[in-house]
Amino acid sequence: MIKLFSSTDTLFSSNGDKVIIPLRAKIHKEDNGSFYLDLDADLSYVNDLTANRIIVANTPQGEQAFRITNVEQTRKKISLKAYHVFYDTKNYLIQDSYVVNQDCNYALDHLNSATDNESPFTTISDITTLNSYRCVRKSLYEAIQTIIERWGGHLVRNNFTIGIRANIGQDNGVTVRYAKNLKDISSEENWNGVVTKLMPVGKDGLLLDELYLYSDTQYKIPYTKVVKFEQQIDQENYKDEDGNLIESKYKEALI
């Protein structure tokens, strides 16, 4: 069942304002990536399927809420793409907030409570790794992407609950076999993140003495990238008795 709700609804246990019978509806979801609904409907819904309203659709993870964005209309049908309400995080700004040596659950809760307008989301994580992150003038969405990069884990989007889990999925004892319960299969190679030669650039343009780090795996063509880091290290810990910065020790700590 596909249900239509208003733009401000956050509870979806009812049938909403209207039940939609689409011509086509397809969910697209990637681990730590895109999560959206493609939908086509006839013109009778032209005044219902409007920007910012919420569509609730069945997914393998249960009913999930998707916010309508751009709507296209032809003489025969309406077509739209609705992104999971998780992407509302792009509309909440964090001015300046610092997480120091904390686990992932603390980092999520801390940054979710630091937005300019009160966040409608709740956050949770079971990752106990300790890390630090200073978030300056970033959206909540950007902050969550950085948390995933630094703490690791899998993004779990359940309506207005945002989780980062060490592991996702479970063994239900089902065997998937082609021509039995699998109709089709495809694969895609993605080399966008491949790096075989890396130049790390630290605070104030600091470079390693060796300049580059090399992957054990090399290809016939180079994959060279620059990654910038902003280390948050207190200079006070690297000053002598007269209060002068010991440059060599501070540089060593930054490296």
pLDDT in tens, 29-71: 999 999 999 999 999 999 999 999 999 999 988 999 999 988 9
Pairwise CA distance, residues 104 & 58, whole Å: 29
- CA proximity to 31, closest of 137, 164, 209, 147: 164
What tens digit of pLDDT does each residue of 118-147 get? 999 999 999 999 999 999 999 999 999 999
What tens digit of pLDDT does each residue of 197-242 get? 999 888 778 888 899 999 999 998 889 999 887 777 777 888 888 8
78 contacts 49 by C-beta, under 8 angstroms: yes
**For residue 155, what is the enclosing H or E element?**
strand 154-158
Pairwise CA distance, residues 8 & 24, whole Å: 25
Phi, psi of 118 (to 5 degrees): -60, 125
pTM: 0.70
Q: How far is CA 46 from CA 2, 52, 59, 85, 166, in A?
A: 16, 14, 24, 22, 42
Pairwise CA distance, residues 98 & 128, whole Å: 18
